[in-house]
A and B are shown apart, each in its own frame.
Chain A
Amino acid sequence: MTTTDYQTVSIVPKAHKARKEHGQTWWAWVWVAPALILELIFYIYPLIQTIILSFQNADSSSYVGFKNYVTIFTNPTMLEVIKNNLLWLVLATLLTVGLGLIVAVLVDKVRVESVVKSALFVPMAISFVAAGVIWRFIYLYSPNGENQIGLLNAFLGLFKVQPQAWLINTSFNNLALIAVYTWMWTGFCMVIISAALKGIPEDVIEAAKIDGASNLTLFWRITVPMVQPTLGVVATTMVINVLKIFDVIYIMTGGDYKTDVVAVEFYNQLFNFSNYGLASALAILLLIVISPVMYINIRRLRAQEAER
């Protein structure tokens, strides 16, 4: 049916109504088809394939049931991976969103606002691999007594502080990695929260001041609740990001020294140990954990749009 036919049909009343509706549905499928086909090839098919792989052994020659999943939740190395991911989830999200909020509020309507914002946002412009390399140099460690080339140890040396193996010492190497991530993502959180702050009407702030609010009260009882929807979206975005964290760790420690996380372990299982079964199970685990957060995020965005 061509467009011309369609128009002819539409000006003929009752008799062809059914045919017209039928035509509309048909056309709707035609328009949606390219997207659906791409979705099937690149998303649904790999997903099903991965699920199937996760129930098979290392070389995908036989089905092993839930064995791979049992391994994830019982093997000490795997448990370490999950524990690290949880640490990342809590700390990295809190730090990026928290610092982003604090900085956004502190520089709001200050003369140096744009300078501070740009400075904090710049790390976003650097590739994460490059950032990882930069921070490896910052954390670089030479044994005590030798020249410290690493920026951090050299700086601490000025105050006669013992040099530390930041990326190797298991009592704080995860924190050192989280610090890098925070450095990269705080600017992103800040910029989005800052935009939300600009949306708070000035007179509401003034009304609160007259009502007797101190700066701290203003922050907790007016500012935070009023940007809360944005904080929600930023936080869930960060949660999704952190759950998938890979690049920083892969570049800086490769997952060694008890810094391994799910995504890095997935990569290692797949490409280094060729254990397709366990790698797929890890991927599915990530998907299952991230999906609800993604769902919440989408719902929040929709609710925000509905309010506009």
Chain B
Amino acid sequence: MAQVRFDHVYKTFNKVEVVHDISIDVKDKEFLVLVGPSGCGKSTCLRMIAGLEEPTEGEIYIGDRVVNGVDPKDRDIAMVFQNYALYPHMTVFDNMAFGLKLRHFPKDQIKKRVEEAAEILGLQPFLKRKPKELSGGQRQRVALGRAIVREAQVFLMDEPLSNLDAKLRVATRAEIIKLHQRIQTTMVYVTHDQVEAMTMGDRIAVLNGGVIQQLGAPQELYDHPANIFVAGFIGSPAMNFIPGAKVGTVDGRTSVILEGIGKVEVPQIYEERARAAADRNLTFGIRPVHLEDVNLVSANSNHGDIRSAIDASVDVVENLGNELQVYLTTGGKNIVATLDPRAHVTAGNKIRLFVDSDQIHLFDTDTGEAIF
């Protein structure tokens, strides 16, 4: 059992800095997800934990030990690779047993551990097969099995699901979550898929340009993104951003005024922050699910008169049965709204959208930082 710690880690390849001053504390038994677009440095971070890359500066700890310069084999870690990285000339059994054999485990114990792992992963019928005789999903399970049998202190996974088809990906995702609950090992998981990050991680570190943008629990990242990048990266469909927002007073309440689009009341707890930022360039943010057809909200009546609303024209309506995905244009900006299927929307028409003012976000356009 071990925690993993990054202490001001930098990594440079040929004078290009790919990881910049990263400090993370991965707690014992925690499932931490590193997420970000390609080239953000997330895989490099994982490879530095594995010992496949050395940090240019800073220290990495596994447990209480600084592991800089320690060989991968001496770090007590197990890793699952994107392309499975199975040994093609070995059977499934030998693939899983290889690490134990090299560590001189007794034969009966190797057999026991491999068979246990095979049972967890449903691989018993395939133990004598070679990797090329398996499907992609089965291969990935062998790769997981190879990591499990080692009973290592830290489990590293580098986009393990990205080569699987959509259905298998969802199923394997659940398997990995179950696996983590069962074996209770510290896990560091790299992905570019924010859905994987949200569903799997105890905590998520969002990386961009080699810098941690935000580190926190999935709900925290969703509800309180630290900046425009995180706000746009987490959540699907992505948050809508409307630049050129002003903070002013309407009917005695502090509001965000969107010229020619509408106005939204600022929640009381954020009024002070909003007014303090009034003289900056501001971007207004709202998630598609926090918009609704005004008529439906009025019909519910408990909202009384609508004080937060924006006007838009409808471009495309996609009916998913349980919801409508509506693409709109407002003030020259494209936005998306996820509406109740009873909403009256037709492509080409205008619509007034109610804005759930408790869920609004305001960002400094120049720095990208969240104001609230």
Co-complex (A, B): yes
Binding site for B on A (CB under 8 A): 201, 203-204, 206-214, 217, 221-222, 225-226, 228
**A206 and B88 in contact (CB under 8 A), knowing A212-B99, A213-B102?**
no
Bound CA span A213–B71, Å: 10
**A206 and B52 in contact (CB under 8 A), knowing A211-B73, A211-B146, A212-B99?**
yes
Q: B89 is contacted by which of A209, A211, A214, A225 (Cβ under 8 Å)?
A: A225
B126 at the interface (CB under 8 A from A): no
21 A–B contacts from the bound complex (CB under 8 Å): A201-B83, A201-B85, A203-B81, A203-B85, A206-B52, A208-B87, A209-B72, A210-B50, A210-B51, A210-B72, A210-B77, A210-B79, A210-B99, A211-B99, A211-B146, A211-B150, A212-B73, A212-B99, A212-B103, A222-B87, A228-B89
Nearest B residue (CB) for A221: B98
The residues of B that contact A217 with a CB separation of less than 8 Å are 102
The residues of A that contact B150 with a CB separation of less than 8 Å are 211
Bound CA span A208–B150, Å: 13
Q: How far is the CB of A228 from chain B (nearest CB, A)?
A: 7
Using a CB-CB cutoff of 8 Å, which residues 128-176 of chain B contact chain A?
Answer: 146, 150
Nearest B residue (CB) for A213: B102
Bound CA span A147–B294, Å: 108
Q: A226 is contacted by which of B71, B73, B89 (Cβ under 8 Å)?
A: B89
Chain B contributes a number of interface residues (CB within 8 A of A) equal to 23
Bound CA span A290–B85, Å: 39
Nearest A residue (CB) for B80: A207
CB atoms of B87 and A210 under 8 A apart: no
B26 at the interface (CB under 8 A from A): no
Bound CA span A240–B87, Å: 31
**A213 and B89 in contact (CB under 8 A), knowing A203-B83, A208-B98?**
no
The residues of B that contact A209 with a CB separation of less than 8 Å are 51-52, 71-73
Nearest B residue (CB) for A226: B89
CB atoms of B73 and A213 under 8 A apart: yes
B328 at the interface (CB under 8 A from A): no
CB atoms of B73 and A206 under 8 A apart: no
B247 at the interface (CB under 8 A from A): no
Binding site for A on B (CB under 8 A): 50-52, 71-73, 77-79, 81-83, 85-89, 98-99, 102-103, 146, 150
**A210 and B103 in contact (CB under 8 A), knowing A204-B85, A225-B89, A228-B89?**
no
**A210 and B83 in contact (CB under 8 A), knowing A217-B102, A226-B89?**
no
A-B pairs with the 4 shortest C-beta distances? A211-B99, A203-B85, A212-B102, A207-B85
The residues of B that contact A210 with a CB separation of less than 8 Å are 50-52, 72-73, 77-79, 99
The residues of A that contact B71 with a CB separation of less than 8 Å are 209
The residues of A that contact B86 with a CB separation of less than 8 Å are 204, 207
Chain A interface, >50% SS class: helix
Bound CA span A211–B98, Å: 7
CB atoms of B79 and A207 under 8 A apart: yes
CB atoms of B88 and A226 under 8 A apart: yes
The residues of B that contact A222 with a CB separation of less than 8 Å are 87
CB atoms of A204 and B87 under 8 A apart: yes
The residues of B that contact A201 with a CB separation of less than 8 Å are 83, 85
CB atoms of A206 and B103 under 8 A apart: no
The residues of A that contact B73 with a CB separation of less than 8 Å are 209-214
CB atoms of B85 and A206 under 8 A apart: yes
Bound CA span A222–B89, Å: 8
The residues of A that contact B79 with a CB separation of less than 8 Å are 206-207, 210
Nearest A residue (CB) for B90: A225
The residues of A that contact B82 with a CB separation of less than 8 Å are 203
Q: Contacts A203-B81, A207-B81, A213-B102 given; 20 further ones with Cβ under 8 A? A: A201-B83, A203-B82, A204-B85, A204-B87, A207-B79, A207-B87, A209-B51, A209-B71, A209-B73, A210-B78, A211-B73, A211-B98, A211-B99, A211-B102, A212-B73, A212-B99, A212-B103, A217-B102, A222-B87, A225-B89
The residues of B that contact A211 with a CB separation of less than 8 Å are 73, 98-99, 102, 146, 150
Bound CA span A225–B87, Å: 10
Bound CA span A226–B50, Å: 24
Q: How far is the CB of A31 from chain B (nearest CB, A)?
A: 37
Nearest A residue (CB) for B89: A225
The residues of B that contact A204 with a CB separation of less than 8 Å are 85-88
Nearest B residue (CB) for A211: B99
Nearest B residue (CB) for A207: B85
Bound CA span A211–B52, Å: 12
Bound CA span A254–B51, Å: 58
Q: How far is the CB of A291 from chain B (nearest CB, A)?
A: 29
**A206 and B81 in contact (CB under 8 A), knowing A212-B103, A213-B73, A226-B88?**
yes
Bound CA span A207–B96, Å: 11
Bound CA span A207–B50, Å: 10
Bound CA span A112–B87, Å: 29
Which residue of A210, A212, A217 has the most chain B CB atoms within 10 A of its CB atom?
A: A210
Q: How far is the CB of A223 from chain B (nearest CB, A)?
A: 11
